[in-house]
Structure 1
Amino acid sequence: MNICLVALGTYGDVLPFVAIGHQLSQRGHDVSLYAPEPFRQSAVRAGLDFDAMCTEAEYDEALSAPDLWHPRRGLVPLFEMMVSLAGRTMRWLEKRARGRPDLIIASPNAFGVRLAQDNGGLPVITVHVTPFLIESRYAAPRLPGLPLQALMPSRLRHWFGRGADRVLIDPVSLPPLNALRTALGLPPVKRLRYWWNSPLRALLMSPPWYVPPQMDWPTQVMQVGFPMADRLGDAGDLAPSLEAFLDAGSPPLIFTYGSGMRQGARFFEVAVEICRRMGRRGILLAREADQVPASLPADVLHVRYAPLSLLLPRSAALIHHGGIGTVAQALAAGVPQMVVPVAFNHFDDAQRLSRLRLGAVLRPQAFRPRRACREIEKMLASPAMIEARTAAHTRMEADDGVASACDEIERVGALL
């Protein structure tokens, strides 16, 4: 098959598509990736053809928006970026469609793919790498920036979610999106969250034991396992300097606030103090050097990127933002994890981990050295959490989400 992958987002959003593309290519398919320029190297290493959705400067500008990582206001710059790339993506697909791709695999935020599907009948499979975007009245996701959610019934959270769509998301995204549709002679989209799933098939890359399926999910949704894709990032192995650090002492605490974070300076300052107070070594994972303190103790190391699947088994614990890719890597390694959620799906995944006793959660306002040290110690010593992590690790060993996704992609492709 001739397959086009279209993905937009940070490493946790895009690398699963690279992993799917890599395996599909190994199965004999012709695969190309359309994604932001910073993912060119990953695509080439995975053996994929690559075209840039946006330049590296445009990508960095979007990630540097002052409000992007605010729990509520972050939705506006996020959806503005998505809609701004919709026309560009549709035109790219139209050019590719002259050779008629057999199948297009796309993230839900690649709006231009759904435009091209509605306009030209192209076959599309939507891939959700996070359960946060799958609606349900019976198991509504936790929303960012909404207090007292633990006291709310699911239907009330769902009602608030619909309100966020009407007040924040749809007013930003629908007018420019519907202007494109009008120019194509297509009817307007009334609600973005209903429209962004392809009616052909939607894959949710979160296993049922982590996200129980719900009776009111869209009928075309199918669950597969987590996509493990970290070794297709900036590096496939641990750097020699990192290997030497790991060999030189006890397992360190690992701190990361995600590949897209440009406002993590306070998080890493607290991380250094946590290591000092606990008498533990630490590794700060941050792509941007200006996010970490300029001067670090000898037992704390800054690393720009490292595959978590190789690093975490040699660590004591992981403290992070709550990105789904990072969550999955910690589960696969069987290590303790603490989530300090920032925005978007982070609060939802933090709640899921807490409910399953797989991790601890601290609000950003509570992430201070004394409180964090106390919670990390409790997490490390909890028999219930140790048992839950061991069970999750066993489940992860038996699961291959990328292979299952490729199986379903091939099955759908064979029916077209």
Structure 2
Amino acid sequence: MQVHLVAIGTHGDVLPILALASALKGRGHSVALAAPAPFAPLAERAGIPFHGLGTEAGFARFTAEPDLWRPWRGVEPLFSYVSDLTEPTYRWLAAEVRPEAGIVVASTLSLGARLAQERLGLNLATVHVMPFFMESRLDSPRLPGVPLPRFLPSRFRHWVGLGADKYVIGPAALPRLNAFRAELGLGPVRRLRYWWNLAPHLILMFPDWFTPPQADWPVQAVQVGFPIADRFGDTDRLDPDLEAFLDAGAPPLVFTYGSAMRQGRAFFETAVALCRRMGRRGVLLAPQADQAPADLPPGLIHLPYAPLSALLPRTAALVHHGGVGTVAQALAAGVPQLIVPVAFDHFDEGSRVRRLDLGTVMSQRAFTPARAARRLTRLLASDRVARACAGARERMAGEDGIARACAAIERMAAERV
């Protein structure tokens, strides 16, 4: 079977699709991946044929945009970048894929793949790695930057989300998408979050115990579980200096604010002060050297990257932004997490983690050394949280979201819609 895969976004969007490509190749299928140009080395290391979308400079401008990591303001730079890659994605699939053969597997933001399915009749499975992408009147996701009380009816929160579609997401995403659709002889999309869920197949890469399925989800949606994909990142081994650090003392706190964050300096400065206040050791993970303070005090170490599946089982807790991939890594390791959400799905992931007693959430404004120390102290001392984390670790050990997704893709290819 020929499988063409497309991933648009940052590490959290691309690594799960790369992991799928590797697993499908291991099952004997022919695969090819299109993703932003900077991910070429990761695909090469995994032995996956790669087609670069856009340029490294364009990706760097996208991730350096200050508004990207602000609730609601981030929608415009996100969809500006997504729009830049929509037509190249469509052209690649139009040139490479025969409609009657194989299947296309694409991340949510790969709008060019959805267009190719609609215009060219390609068999498409859209992969949602975030529960945030699943609309529901019965259990509406938590919106970024909208502090609605949980006791409000879900239908009200869903109605607010429709307003976000009309006044925030639509103006950012639809003009360029619909202009290209007109060139292809297609009618306009009225609401993006509705349109992308009209794909023939939907694969939901999060388990039902974390996000229970809802009666009003699309009938073609298949829920498979989390993808643990960090071994496809910048390295699959712990740095020797980090190994030595871990061996030298008590389990540390780990701090990360995501692979694409360029405005994390205040977060990491607070992390340093927090560790000193609690008398804890700490690991700071930030790709850019200028994000973490220079001249760290004893008991702290900074690295650009570490595979969380190897690091987290040797740590006390994880403090992070709330990206779904990072959430899943903490669940697999059975460590509590303190989430300081920034934008997009982070608020929704934090709400789900807190609801399941797997961690807690603090706003960026509240994330000060004193307040965070009190919150972490309670978190680490809680028997209820410890039991919930142990239960999540056991569940994750019994799941294989990648293998289940591959099996679903094989069925979807055989049962072409």
Q: What TM-score do you get using the length of structure 1 for normalisation? A: 0.98
Aligned partner letter, 1:31: V
CA distance in 2, matches of 1:338, 1:30: 41
**Aligned twin of 1:282:** 282
Secondary structure, counterpart of 1:51 in structure 2: strand
Structure 2: runs of 5 or more not aligned = none
CA distance in 1, matches of 2:286, 2:54: 22
**Aligned twin of 1:154:** 154
Secondary structure, counterpart of 2:58 in structure 1: helix
User: Cα distance, 1:298 vs. partner?
Assistant: 2.3
**Aligned twin of 1:83:** 83
Aligned partner letter, 2:292: V
Are 1:212 and 2:206 an aligned pair? Answer: no
CA distance in 2, matches of 1:354, 1:360: 5
User: Cα distance, 1:99 vs. partner?
Assistant: 9.1
CA distance in 2, matches of 1:222, 1:99: 23
Q: Percent identity?
A: 56
Are 1:365 and 2:365 an aligned pair? Answer: yes
Secondary structure, counterpart of 2:60 in structure 1: helix
User: Cα distance, 1:139 vs. partner?
Assistant: 0.2
User: Cα distance, 1:290 vs. partner?
Assistant: 1.1
* Deviation by residue 1:298-353 (Cα, 9 ceiling, x = unmatched): 21100111100000001111000000000000000001111000000000010001
**Aligned twin of 2:327:** 327
Any residues of structure 2 matched to 1:275-354 within 5 Å, and which? 275-354=275-354
Any residues of structure 2 matched to 1:161-240 within 5 Å, and which? 161-240=161-240
Secondary structure, counterpart of 1:196 in structure 2: helix
| Segment drifting more, 45-54 vs 375-384 | 45-54
Any residues of structure 2 matched to 1:98-113 within 5 Å, and which? 102-113=102-113
CA distance in 2, matches of 1:66, 1:77: 9
**Aligned twin of 1:390:** 390
CA distance in 2, matches of 1:100, 1:58: 34
User: Cα distance, 1:13 vs. partner?
Assistant: 1.0
Secondary structure, counterpart of 2:67 in structure 1: coil
User: Cα distance, 1:107 vs. partner?
Assistant: 0.9
CA distance in 2, matches of 1:100, 1:247: 55
CA distance in 2, matches of 1:357, 1:52: 41
CA distance in 2, matches of 1:101, 1:48: 20
CA distance in 2, matches of 1:238, 1:99: 43
**Aligned twin of 1:116:** 116
Structure 1: runs of 5 or more not aligned = none
CA contact (8 A) 2:5 2:106 kept: yes
Stretches of 4+ aligned residues off by more than 6 angstroms: none
**Aligned twin of 2:254:** 254
Secondary structure, counterpart of 2:69 in structure 1: coil
User: Cα distance, 1:250 vs. partner?
Assistant: 1.1
CA distance in 2, matches of 1:190, 1:127: 21
CA contact (8 A) 2:98 2:122 kept: no
**Aligned twin of 1:51:** 51
Secondary structure, counterpart of 2:54 in structure 1: coil
User: Cα distance, 1:98 vs. partner?
Assistant: 5.5
User: Cα distance, 1:248 vs. partner?
Assistant: 1.2
CA distance in 1, matches of 2:47, 2:289: 30
User: Cα distance, 1:200 vs. partner?
Assistant: 1.5
* Deviation by residue 1:159-207 (Cα, 9 ceiling, x = unmatched): 1100000001112211211111111111111111111135321011110
CA distance in 1, matches of 2:170, 2:329: 33
**Aligned twin of 1:271:** 271
**Aligned twin of 1:67:** 67
* Alignment: residue pair count: 416
* Deviation by residue 1:51-71 (Cα, 9 ceiling, x = unmatched): 111211111100111211011
CA contact (8 A) 1:124 1:198 kept: no
Aligned partner letter, 2:51: D
Aligned partner letter, 2:218: P
CA contact (8 A) 2:313 2:333 kept: yes
CA contact (8 A) 1:354 1:360 kept: yes
* Deviation by residue 1:121-145 (Cα, 9 ceiling, x = unmatched): 0110000000101000010000011
CA distance in 1, matches of 2:59, 2:112: 17
CA distance in 2, matches of 1:415, 1:137: 30
**RMSD of the alignment, in Å?**
1.2
